Amino acid sequence: MSFATLGLSIPLLSTITRKNYTHPYPVQEQAIPAILAGKDVLGVSKTGSGKTASYALPIIERFQQRTERSERFPPALVLVPTRELAIQVAEVFTDLSEHLPQQIKASAVYGGVSINPQMKNLRHTDVLVATPGRLLDLVESKTLHLNKVEILVLDEADKMLNKDFREEMDKILAQLPVRRQTILFSATLNPDIKWLQEHLLFEPVTIEIKETEDAIDTIEQTAYHVSMERKGPFLRYLIKEQNIQQVLVFASSTRTADNIVAKLNKNGIQAAAFHGDMGQNTRIDILHQFKSGKIRVLVASDLAARGIDIVELPVVINYELPRSPKDYIHRIGRTGRAGAMGKAITLVTPEDDHHFGIIQKKMGRKVAITETDTVNLQGY
């Protein structure tokens, strides 16, 4: 199937070609025509499946016909659970509409940073991407009104169902017009999502993209046996020897991440840490530098790494094993995304052997482990 059959106009098809999207992903094949037709959608699909474009493209298309923009009444609202996702999603809208006759103004609002610049930037927004708490601040201070929202998207809705979010969500939903189009994406279809589905959606088109085993097959996995003491030098050796230009390294704690970064920088390899202790602006800045290639190595903890989306991230290194096999799969899933081939390298100490065995069993894949005793690490 090609994008041309989905009902998108020629200018948007040119943008898609420019982005090198050769064919639509399964979620896009199903969601784009449904959203263009004004239907409610329930999508069960994970990050990495192309779900953002699956709702951004038809929303942009529909907004090409709009002539008027009101100052503080956004016609589309995308609710997301994290700041990183808010920024990413707003960027996708801006990026995809950049060369169109009618550019879309997308703004991201999220907590953890000063509210004033976000307030200033809100005027004439077409697509507001928001985390619930900050959105409520803006609504309650009357900076923003939600009673003209025509399209509501809940992205990663399964992460917005805990108690704190639930209260905020109820307040937000009370502000929205009853007549609207609602699009809900979730990674799983659990009973809570069913509740949302029943209360928010009207005769939705349901799209379920099963996670195929192939996702993992686009990742070339290797592992190295290396003792605790030789891990640091071996990491630097790998990066230099294999001439790795962009790599996400996973560490188990903030402290280890900082230590790895300090040593890499001392050895002339540009690196930065990425963890929860940093201010939001610092994190945004670091992520930009990493994406643009100014930082070669990003060292992150599991928590911080959720939501990082870098197109075709070539290599991921597990400096330490995660506790759960699920986290291992989640980590290596940062590479080989959206059909691109990626590489995942894991450093395994003798103490890790048993645990790595369990991970491989759960994953249903065997990973060859190379011995490194004879590798000369002098000078690394």
Contact between 342 and ligand AMP per CB under 6 A: no
Nearer residue to ligand AMP within complex by CB, 27 or 128? 27
Q: Which two tokens stand for residue 118?
A: 């976000």
Amino acid at 354: H
Nearer residue to ligand AMP within complex by CB, 52 or 131? 52
Report the chain's C-alpha Rg in angstroms.
Answer: 22
Nearer residue to ligand AMP within complex by CB, 28 or 131? 28
As measured in angstroms, the least distance from the Cβ of 323 to ligand AMP is 25
- Binder of ligand AMP out of 30, 49, 125, 301 (CB under 6 A): 49
From CA 155, how far away is CA 89, in angstroms rounded? 10
Helix or strand (DSSP H, E) at 328:
helix 325-332
Contact between 48 and ligand AMP per CB under 6 A: yes
Contact between 53 and ligand AMP per CB under 6 A: yes
Q: How many other CB atoms are there within 10 angstroms of residue 249's CB atom?
A: 27
| 79 close to 135: Cβ distance less than 8 angstroms | yes
From CA 256, how far away is CA 304, in angstroms rounded? 14
Contact between 50 and ligand AMP per CB under 6 A: yes
Using alpha carbons, list the distances in angstroms from residue 34 to 40, 55, 70: 8, 10, 26
- Binder of ligand AMP out of 15, 30, 44, 47 (CB under 6 A): 47
| 345 close to 320: Cβ distance less than 8 angstroms | no
Contact between 165 and ligand AMP per CB under 6 A: no
- Binder of ligand AMP out of 21, 63, 110, 290 (CB under 6 A): 21
Nearer residue to ligand AMP within complex by CB, 180 or 337? 337
From CA 273, how far away is CA 288, in angstroms rounded? 13
Contact between 81 and ligand AMP per CB under 6 A: no
As measured in angstroms, the least distance from the Cβ of 62 to ligand AMP is 19
Contact between 367 and ligand AMP per CB under 6 A: no
- Residues from 228 through 247 that contact ligand AMP (CB under 6 A): none
Name residue, tokens 């949302």. 196
Contact between 24 and ligand AMP per CB under 6 A: yes
- Binder of ligand AMP out of 176, 338, 363, 369 (CB under 6 A): 338
Helical spans, DSSP H, in 143-253: 163-175, 191-200, 214-217, 231-241
Q: How many other CB atoms are there within 10 angstroms of residue 19's CB atom?
A: 12
- Residues from 97 through 136 that contact ligand AMP (CB under 6 A): none
Near ligand AMP by CB under 6 A, which window of 24-32, 69-77, 271-279, 364-372?
Answer: 24-32
Count, residues near ligand AMP per rule CB under 6 A: 15
Hey, CA dihedral for 250, 256, 258, 259, is it positive or negative? Answer: negative
Phi, psi values for residue 159, rounded to 5° = -90, -5
Q: Which of 118, 26, 28 is nearest to 74 (CA)?
A: 118
Using alpha carbons, list the distances in angstroms from residue 65 to 59, 102, 173: 11, 8, 26
From CA 94, how far away is CA 59, in angstroms rounded? 12
Contact between 224 and ligand AMP per CB under 6 A: no
Nearer residue to ligand AMP within complex by CB, 17 or 370? 17
Near ligand AMP by CB under 6 A, which window of 41-49, 71-79, 102-110, 167-175?
Answer: 41-49
Near ligand AMP by CB under 6 A, which window of 21-29, 105-113, 124-132, 139-147?
Answer: 21-29
As measured in angstroms, the least distance from the Cβ of 22 to ligand AMP is 6
Amino acid at 250: F
Contact between 29 and ligand AMP per CB under 6 A: no
Phi, psi values for residue 297, rounded to 5° = -125, 125
- Binder of ligand AMP out of 1, 4, 228, 311 (CB under 6 A): 311
Contact between 341 and ligand AMP per CB under 6 A: no
Phi, psi values for residue 261, rounded to 5° = -60, -45
Name the site residues for ligand AMP (rule: CB under 6 A). 21, 24-25, 28, 47-53, 309, 311, 337-338
